[in-house]
Amino acid sequence: MSSDRVHRHRPTNEISTCKYSVFTFLPRFLLEQFRRYNNVFFLIIALLQQIPDVSPTGRYTTAGPFLIILFISALKEIFEDVKRKRLDIKVNNFTTLVLRNGRWEEMPWKDVTVGEILKIDNNHLIPADLIILSSSEANSMAYIETSNLDGETNLKIRQALPETSELTNISKINEFRGEIECELPSKHVNNFTGTIHFQYNNISKPLSVNQLLLRGAALKNTKWVIGVTVYTGHDAKLLMNSRTAPLKRSYIDSMTNNRIIVLFFILICLAAASTLGAWIYGLNLQNAWYLGMIGKNSLFWDFITFFILYNNLIPISLQVTLEIVRFFQAAYINNDIDMYYQDTDTPAIARTSNLNEELGQVKYIMSDKTGTLTRNVMKFKKLYVGGKSYGDDISEEFNDQSVLVDIENNIKEAEIIKEAFLIMASCHTVVPEMNEYNDNSITYQAASPDELALVKGAANMKFIFKKRMAKTIEIELLENNETFEILNVLEFNSDRKRMGVIVKNNQGHLKLYIKGADAVIIPRLSKNTPKNDLDNLNSHLNEYANKGYRTLCFAKKDLDEVYYNTWKNKFHEASISLENRQEKLDEVADEIESNLTLVGVSAIEDKLQEGVPDTIASLLEAKIKIWILTGDKKETAVNIAQSSALFSMNSNILILSGKTYDETSRCLHEINQKVDEFKKNDMKFSLVVDGTCLHNIITGECRTEFLNLALQCETVVCCRMSPMQKSDVVELIQSRCNHVLAVGDGANDVAMIQSANVGVGISGAEGLQAASASDYSIGQFRFLKKLILVHGAWNYNRSVKVILYSFYKNICLYLIELWFALYSAFSGQTLFERWTIALFNVLFTFWPPVILGLFDRPVSENQLINNPYLYKGLQKISFSNLQFYTWIVMSILHSIILYWMSYGFLYNPVVWENGRSGGWLMLGNSCYTFVVVTVCLKALIECDSWTWIIVIFSFGSIYVWFAFFFLYSLVWPYISFGADMSGHFWFMISSPTFWCAMILIPLTTLIPDITLKCIKFIISPSMCDFAKIQDKTGDRLIIYPLEQQFDQHSSVSYRQQTEHINFNGVQGEPHYSTNESNEKTFLKNNPNSSPTYGTYIPSSVLTSDGGYVNFACEDNDAKFEISQLRNILHNPDTRI
């Protein structure tokens, strides 16, 4: 088997993750840039300006800034691509040992080709996807760590086929003849289908993922392995999984595009109206032959002139401003120490910055359970076997000595108890490692926390899993070592939901041991299973699940050797099939996994993560609905929902069930009738639905009916879900609401995370698959609170202000050209000098929106954390149509005031230092100055929290304009342009009239803004306004919105805990329960009566009701007018 003859004709292992090359950069970059409509628009404007005698603003006033913006974008792309290129060079030049010319040669990774023989040493990375041929370890086993691939740090076993395990030296490798046939390259890291054909005996053997060493994995605890490359370069599974996540577009971006379209039509209308004005003026000037206007009236070219003149109504710098703001907003998230998880050294990571503001608009959260809400640190707690339940709820580890007592006393059930612990100790993929310093110590490496918990639980009862070899495992049974031959492994997957092993013990008995979810094990039990046993099993399943434990059923089957041999041949045929191998293997496994004998059921505890109930309570208070999507059974999922405070104290829980579509449809109809009653009585309700029922709904005709029901629920728990069903649920909700966030921690959550508007991955025990596929990753669920309520709220509010402010400042300046057109006979003459027009966005007013987007805080962090409902309030006051058109109207009003007041102050009566009265350019420069001052002050008015950096950059922008104006007034005649501007700076600043106008005009312009803000605060203050007052006064009151404390009736119930939920209903019928518990009643104040004295409320609350405020304290409830409240806030010593 020589690699010399193949390496010259096979794909190489060189990789390139670069987006561009020297030759493709320009076309690919430009293609990407001009997919954006605004860039196409400005390109058209730049081209139109090149037409002689058409552009009123010069040839380069759009092209110049546009090229600067493209240049900045190009630098960003080049910078990122250079980093990728450097990393590629580094990786491609890693070295490995390759068998060439009859010896091991050290070669760069990039020179490795398909079919070559490689030797990998311990702790080295694997350079390509290899089939292991042999290793230094017994039975040709090898241990790899795949943290670079999936984030899992536990060791995994790979094992060569016995037929190739002797290929340990060069001479044997050269003598070997064989051929490997494998599937086409795919991105599925946990699946591989191949066959090796041996020429010396014409035998074929199946190859699976157990023989596959993946590129990027590290060899551990193994001196060396020898393997043959099957996939190299971009065909390797690691590279095939390196594709970027689906491109997501934020709601803000979509709305901004819609606003730009509106402005584009306004631009068309203005250009058309001005063209009409020019035509009318042209008719009146037909007899004025001395003006030379006869024959020069062209509607088309006039339209193009005005189209160019007004083009800056659409801000050219908006996109680059947003990119800068989003980049630094993402940096804030990445460097937030409050979201750093020290235990695993995991910071929060924003993997995309395009969705920062989407975090501020979340209405639904779809959450996985295991590893997301829970710790995914499993503890084996209980075992039901032989009619008895062992273990307790208190002990940290399973250590029920009555198990050993019952076995030693050889009670009737002793054998079945042994079988249960044998299943726990043998049916798994755990790898044991002996401690080099203590022979009695074993460390287990497990891919699944459940398996680790079971193996440790068995070890505590003296069923110690000690060694794993090629085809055998060694277990210490009650201090006696016994070896079991592993004949076949029926692997677990999310569709099968079970795992089985066929073993042969020392006595030669063949047995199938199997564990899995009760939903797949119970239907496979023998029909002769006593009904009493099934009833007891279901009773203990429900008992364990109601305590929040994860449950697994154990079963076995004694196999006849003749039957097994027949089945083994079928299994072998399926295992070497290159087409639909997994489906064929599952089909053959189904055949043997029948007529099982019940052994028992285990209970595994998975505790809630720290801070989960508090986080969920805060998110619910922010009016965000949370759904749980889990693969666990119904009772377990509901228990976790209760313990995590997902169900409110007085919520009625509805169970939607049904094995068939008809049953599901009937149940759904009955639940909807019950919901109508709940709604009439203003009662809350939640929904629980399982995967079978959901499949009937999604594939049936009642999708809309279910969706209408689900959207009315306080929360929904979906259990027994497959990964694709999770994604289906997300897409179903998105058909009605485009603000869905999905959060999960495992590979089975990737589809859901990528389908959601925002995907959040948790770096957990199940690896980094979810985190890598997400838009944002965090270390714990509790960090979602700050990510959404603080960063999300701030980013949304900031980005909206950036967009609205950018529209405002452009309309404010460039609409002045329309008012000037009334005095210039619609000639297309500009009021402002062409380069001041070009630099308005990219220099003089560039920083105010950036600073607003980075440092403005509508509400303080403490207020958002302590009063989560403010999150909803900030959504209402941001990017609504009312807000947009309010800004547009104010920008139009400002442009009118700025132009007409400037005209009245400066045009005719002023004589400048040069002895002349003001011309149009002097008026233009003065008016331009007033605009710059006004828009910079407007930024301060719109800012919710003044800081020194905001003030500096706002006034600094005004200074930049004066500095530029000063220099521009001096450049002529030293350079060939700017002659018209020569000396204007000195003329302007030497005029007292100018300085008087500079004080009065901007202040007058901003009076409507200030007035509106004051009126709004006095007449209809928001809860955010009260939060700001508290921040400034240091008051310690906690604000709550009125509807949170009182319902529409005269009283409302406050329940402290949930006691019981009834699940004992008939299949296909709805079940509901009302949680009855400790109840306290508080009376709502009547606005027309004196305060009602009532029961103690745990915290002081302050609520807004129109122009009044309801206040509740320990002894009484009170009602104040808002003016009274201000006195209270400003005078903390005021007695109530």
- Rounded to whole angstroms, the Cα distance separating 514 from 521 reads 8
Q: Cβ atoms within 10 A of the Cβ of 174, count?
A: 16
Question: According to the annotation, is 745 in a ligand binding site?
Answer: yes
The tokens 């009123």 sit on which residue?
A: 56
Look at residue 506 and give its three-state secondary structure.
coil
Look at residue 1071 and give its three-state secondary structure.
strand
- Rounded to whole angstroms, the Cα distance separating 320 from 332 reads 19
Q: Are strands 597-605 and 379-385 parallel, antiparallel or unpaired?
A: antiparallel
Question: According to the annotation, is 466 in a ligand binding site?
Answer: no
**CA quadruple 1030, 1036, 1041, 1042: dihedral positive or negative?**
negative
Question: According to the annotation, is 680 in a ligand binding site?
Answer: no
Question: Residue 288 contacts by C-beta under 8 Å, 6 or more apart in sequence?
Answer: none
Tell me how far CA of residue 681 lies from CA of 493, 706, 1047, in angstroms.
46, 21, 11
Strand partners, 499: 515
Characterize 1043-1053 residue by residue with b for buried, 16 or more Cβ atoms within 10 angstroms of its Cβ, and e for exposed. eebbeeeeebe
- Rounded to whole angstroms, the Cα distance separating 240 from 129 reads 12
Q: Which long-range contacts (CB under 8 A, 24 or more apart) does 84-93 make?
A: 84/17, 84/18, 84/19, 85/16, 85/18, 87/17, 88/15, 88/16, 88/17, 88/18, 91/15, 92/13, 92/14, 92/15
Question: Residue 200 contacts by C-beta under 8 Å, 6 or more apart in sequence?
Answer: 177
Question: According to the annotation, is 916 in a ligand binding site?
Answer: no
Question: Residue 498 contacts by C-beta under 8 Å, 6 or more apart in sequence?
Answer: 490, 492, 514, 515, 516, 517, 520, 521, 593
- Out of 129, 235, 302, 368, pick the active-site residue: 368
What are the strands, taking DSSP E only, across 386-509? 388-391, 431-435, 438-445, 463-468, 472-477, 480-490, 498-504
Look at residue 297 and give its three-state secondary structure.
coil
Question: According to the annotation, is 630 in a ligand binding site?
Answer: yes
Q: Are strands 155-159 and 141-145 parallel, antiparallel or unpaired?
A: antiparallel
Question: According to the annotation, is 369 in a ligand binding site?
Answer: yes
Residues 1075 and 1069: beta-carbon distance below 8 Å: no
Question: According to the annotation, is 749 in a ligand binding site?
Answer: yes
393 labelled catalytic? no
Question: According to the annotation, is 368 in a ligand binding site?
Answer: yes
**What DSSP element (H or E) covers 567?**
helix 561-575
Question: According to the annotation, is 492 in a ligand binding site?
Answer: yes
Look at residue 502 and give its three-state secondary structure.
strand
The tokens 């032959």 sit on which residue?
A: 289
Question: According to the annotation, is 451 in a ligand binding site?
Answer: yes
Is the omega angle on the peptide bond into residue 347 within 30 degrees of 0, that is, cis? no
Question: According to the annotation, is 415 in a ligand binding site?
Answer: no
- Rounded to whole angstroms, the Cα distance separating 270 from 308 reads 11
Question: According to the annotation, is 338 in a ligand binding site?
Answer: no
Nearest residue to 517 via CA among 494, 498, 500, 503: 498
Residues 1045 and 1117: beta-carbon distance below 8 Å: no
Question: According to the annotation, is 855 in a ligand binding site?
Answer: no
Output the 3-class SS for 1077-1122: CCEEEEECCCCCCCCCCCCCCCCCEEEEECCEEEEECCCCEEEEEH
**What DSSP element (H or E) covers 177?**
none
Question: Residue 1135 contacts by C-beta under 8 Å, 6 or more apart in sequence?
Answer: none
- Rounded to whole angstroms, the Cα distance separating 373 from 377 reads 12
Q: Give the residue numbers of the binding site.
A: 368-370, 451, 492, 515, 550, 630-632, 720, 726, 745, 748-749
Q: Give the residue numbers of the binding site for ATP.
A: 368-370, 451, 492, 515, 550, 630-632, 720, 726, 748-749
Q: Give the residue numbers of the binding site for Mg(2+).
A: 368, 370, 745, 749
Q: Which residues are catalytic?
A: 368
